[in-house]
Amino acid sequence: MDIKLNFINNSNDANNSSVVIFQKNVASDFEELAVAWQVIKYCGQGDNHPFTYPMQTTIGASDSWGNFTPQLPANQGQMFQMSLNASGDVISLAGQATSIHEIQLLNNLSKGAINANIYKNGKLLATKTNVAPQQRAVFEFKPTIWIGVVSQVNQGEVMNSAIISQVNTELNLFGIASADIVMTGGGSGPNAQPFNFTLENINML
């Protein structure tokens, strides 16, 4: 069941700041760069911005020749592969992943690296670039989102580590059907407060 979320700007911010929402791929051992899944812009004081966090995830890939595959529904514990058939490079379900918590994509091409992409709502959520032949891209996500105030970030872009380090609010969506995400704080001068994000009016499943 999709989670209905409603961002509400109750802050003192008058700088027309952008709010970024993303997830972190926890399957990799190192701190991976994250993708700006949602960017809320021009949401003034007192305004709200409803959006949906879908349960369904999709996976797609692009090859070194600039071709993009269709997106396939992807669930935890599934393995996909990029392979060559009579028509060219194609993505397909290849059975079970080596971990029930992960979505995996194997580059089964004899030559050429691929990029593996995970989407929610058709929007890029995570990417793994330059996956060489016979290597796997591995994705795992906790039921949480990260949210923060940023500048100069566009939806679908990979964010650099400096931007990601500014975002330190993690909101747990486990078991939630709907909720408001309320932003407070901000402002200028001696009374300025750090931005704060809280879940309110929570309806559980």
Q: Residue 186: is it exposed, middle or buried by C-beta count within 10 angstroms (0-12/13-18/19+)?
A: buried
Query: What is the pLDDT, as a whole number, of residue 29?
Result: 63
Q: Which of 118, 138, 158 is the last residue of a domain?
A: 138
Query: What is the pLDDT, as a whole number, of residue 31?
Result: 64
In this structure, are 157 and 180 located in the same domain? Answer: yes
Query: What is the pLDDT, as a whole number, of residue 30?
Result: 61
How far is the CA of 8 from the CAs of 58, 82, 114, 194, in angstroms? 28, 41, 39, 16
In this structure, are 147 and 127 located in the same domain? Answer: no
Q: Find the range with the poorest average confidence among 25-39, 48-62, 117-131.
A: 25-39
Contacts of 145 (CB under 8 A, 6+ apart): 21, 22, 23, 53, 170, 171, 173
**Average pLDDT rounded to a whole number, residues 39-47:** 95
Q: Which of 35, 19, 26, 27 is nearest to 121 (CA)?
A: 35
The residues pairing with 98 across neighbouring beta strands, listed in sequence order, are none
Q: Which of 122, 138, 154 is the last residue of a domain?
A: 138
- Note the pLDDT tens digit of each residue in 124-146: 999 999 999 999 999 999 999 99
The pLDDT mean for the chain works out to 94
- Per-residue confidence at 33, pLDDT binned at 50, 70, 90? confident
